[in-house]
A = this chain, B = another copy of it.
Amino acid sequence: MSTMRTHYCGLVTEELLGQTVSLCGWVHRRRDHGGVIFIDLRDREGLVQVVCHPDNAEVFKAAEHVRNEFCLRITGTVTNRLEGTVNANLKSGKIEINASSVEVLNASVPVPFQLDDDNLSETTRLTHRVLDLRRNQMQHNLRLRYKVSMEVRKYLDNLGFIDIETPMLTKSTPEGARDYLVPSRVNAGNFFALPQSPQLFKQLLMVANFDRYYQITKCFRDEDLRADRQPEFTQIDCETSFLTEQEIRDLFEDMMRVVFKNAAGIDLPNPFPVMDFATAMGMYGSDKPDMRVKLEFTELTELMKSVEFKVFNSAANMTGGRVVGMRVPQGGSMPRSEIDAYTQFVAIYGAKGLAYIKVNEKAKGRDGLQSPIVKNISDEVLAQILELTKAEDGDLIFFGADKAKVVNDAIGALRVKIGHSEFGKKAALFDEVWSPLWVIDFPMFEHDEENNRWTATHHPFTAPKDGHEDMLETNPGACIAKAYDMVLNGWELGGGSIRIHREEVQSKVFRALKIDAEEAQLKFGFLLDALQYGAPPHGGLAFGLDRLITLMTGSESIRDVIAFPKTQRAQCLLTNAPSEVDEKQLKELHIRLRNEPKVA
């Protein structure tokens, strides 16, 4: 391979028996055994055992001084391990290196933790990120991440997609999420924004006849962070002209199958199931349902409109209210404590309680049901509940009754929670499979009740279904968009849409969103302008790479698939960014600090 080394440590096998090799790597472990020093030397490909015999005084002396994480260059002969000392877990497990030279390339101070300690706090890990990155799991995660992005590139390259870079210093359009701003030095008082996505630029590239574009690129949102959010995140961003929604979905569905297979050996089903938004919300209370969970909502709103029980009745009759039941097969065995815990759980999502019925023995009617609420419900309605939910003896039915959003969020989350619980797994309510899903036919607009106006469900550049253009202004709530999300195991992997390619339709959407002509021109004039020059029909999709790798690796946080992530307080514990800057720098940028108390 090079002057310094002939092989990677982890790849030395019995095929090299008798040969002299030079290896470079780190001391993973050193032990003294029967007067012989054994060093497990580690490089990116894995471990190899190095033996330093006392009969080679120089080697032995050097070996005596090495400590964990010293960086060494070792030359030696590949020999068989002694009978009984073979390590089947290592590729190099049948051999060892009989060292003829041990060179310390760099010493190491004692490390603050053992690399194979799996109980490190995240603060420790992020502070000592360089050592943390030496750990197996992080090595694996970042290599897999690379493999995935390379597989994506190969796939798209084969189909004629080309990677075109779009600007990082771009225009602030305060819609959607908060922008990261960059003050301009040359243009005093003005600011660039870091892109929330290359959305408009990729549309412009379609208008400019690039036909098929992709980019694996950083995007930025200055939002409050959660476990699956980072200030900067990476998008696999794609756009194509002259394809239908179905063709775009087929293309990227196939891409994902190929990528999962080639990068991680995972077989995704073919084809992915497709579900419209209304069905997803109706059956699962979510536009990204985890299809591994075998639980469904039963719609009870109509039924509950005339019941006496006020909790159900008032939810069923309020504007935008909803009542659902969710049958949990064999849930009757659930102890009271577990139900109580779920009651607390749904409260996080705003649910004021969690009604339930245990179905002990249907044949006994009301007497066969166990529940704090059955006394408020008529025999007739109880019978209908059982019929609609298809509940059997031994089942349990949970109920949600509130504003639809609360019901969907709370019972939707409960559905996933139960599915993933011990109980759920025992009761076969959870399939341990990779379960992708297309969710399609999103509404164009959502009603923002607080401000009494319509907002774009995806973004304002999404095309309406054919024939819905005329309703954009007259009946926005009824407009369905050519938008689609790819969901995997309950996570949104990516989403996209056919875009508006006609200026007059785009202008209509802006009007529906109460963006007047002047504001539209100011913010999106360049798009409206471009659409006038024979913009082609086009559409695309963007995948969240961080999330994709988090899923693939089964990581708990996207910070585990990013080399140098920020904390949930948007700080880098390694470099201590962000930090204070010189007054001189601020002056050059024509800004000053406000005198506000500092947040710690």
Chain A positions within 8 Å of B, measured between CB atoms, are 2-5, 24-27, 42-44, 69-71, 105-109, 111, 129-131, 133-134, 139, 142-143, 145-146, 149-150, 153, 157, 162-172, 174, 178-194, 200-201, 204-205, 207-211, 218, 220, 222, 231-232, 234, 241-244, 247, 501-502, 526, 529-537, 562-564, 566, 569-572, 574-582, 585, 587-594, 596-599
In the complex this chain forms, how many copies of it are found?
A: 2
Q: A182-B180, A182-B194, A187-B578 are in contact. Are A134 and B209 (CB under 8 A)?
A: yes
Partner of A168 from the list B168, B210, B591 (CB cut-off 8 Å) is B168
Contact B106 A44 (CB under 8 A): no
User: Using Cβ atoms and an 8 Å threshold, which residues of chain B touch A187?
Assistant: 569-571, 578, 599
Contact B222 A171 (CB under 8 A): no
Contact B181 A163 (CB under 8 A): no
CA gap between A575 and B203 in the complex, in Å = 13
CA gap between A232 and B182 in the complex, in Å = 12
| Nearest B-chain residue to A570, judged by Cβ | B186
Contact A192 B590 (CB under 8 A): no
From A4, A183, A222, A532, name the one whose CB has the most chain B CB atoms within 10 angstroms. Answer: A183
User: Using Cβ atoms and an 8 Å threshold, which residues of chain B touch A153?
Assistant: 150, 153
CA gap between A83 and B192 in the complex, in Å = 57
User: Using Cβ atoms and an 8 Å threshold, which residues of chain B touch A108?
Assistant: 532-534
CA gap between A184 and B571 in the complex, in Å = 10
User: Using Cβ atoms and an 8 Å threshold, which residues of chain B touch A2?
Assistant: 242-244, 247
* 8 A–B contacts from the bound complex (CB under 8 Å): A4-B244, A26-B209, A109-B532, A133-B208, A134-B209, A167-B564, A168-B168, A186-B569
A216 CB → nearest B CB, Å: 9
Besides the contacts A106-B536, A165-B563, A590-B594, what 12 more A-B pairs have beta carbons closer than 8 Å?
A4-B244, A24-B536, A130-B204, A150-B157, A167-B566, A167-B577, A168-B220, A169-B578, A184-B578, A191-B579, A193-B577, A200-B575
Partner of A71 from the list B106, B218, B220, B534 (CB cut-off 8 Å) is B534
Partner of A188 from the list B69, B204, B231, B598 (CB cut-off 8 Å) is B598
From A209, A218, A569, name the one whose CB has the most chain B CB atoms within 10 angstroms. Answer: A209
CA gap between A208 and B25 in the complex, in Å = 11
A169 CB → nearest B CB, Å: 6
Partner of A139 from the list B189, B209, B564, B580 (CB cut-off 8 Å) is B209
Partner of A599 from the list B188, B222, B501 (CB cut-off 8 Å) is B188
Chain A interface main SS type:
loop
Contact B585 A170 (CB under 8 A): no
User: Using Cβ atoms and an 8 Å threshold, which residues of chain B touch A585?
Assistant: 172, 174, 178-179, 181
User: Using Cβ atoms and an 8 Å threshold, which residues of chain B touch A189?
Assistant: 580, 593, 598
Partner of A209 from the list B27, B42, B570 (CB cut-off 8 Å) is B42
Contact A578 B171 (CB under 8 A): yes
Contact A164 B533 (CB under 8 A): no
Contact A578 B192 (CB under 8 A): yes
Contact B591 A234 (CB under 8 A): no
A245 CB → nearest B CB, Å: 11
Partner of A579 from the list B190, B204, B587 (CB cut-off 8 Å) is B190
Contact B533 A131 (CB under 8 A): yes
CA gap between A384 and B205 in the complex, in Å = 63
CA gap between A69 and B26 in the complex, in Å = 62
A117 CB → nearest B CB, Å: 15
Contact A590 B593 (CB under 8 A): yes
User: Using Cβ atoms and an 8 Å threshold, which residues of chain B touch A591?
Assistant: 183, 591-594
| Nearest B-chain residue to A170, judged by Cβ | B577
User: Using Cβ atoms and an 8 Å threshold, which residues of chain B touch A205?
Assistant: 133, 563
CA gap between A599 and B187 in the complex, in Å = 6
A230 CB → nearest B CB, Å: 9
| Nearest B-chain residue to A180, judged by Cβ | B182
User: Using Cβ atoms and an 8 Å threshold, which residues of chain B touch A242?
Assistant: 2, 4-5, 24
User: Using Cβ atoms and an 8 Å threshold, which residues of chain B touch A167?
Assistant: 232, 564, 566, 572, 577
CA gap between A357 and B268 in the complex, in Å = 79
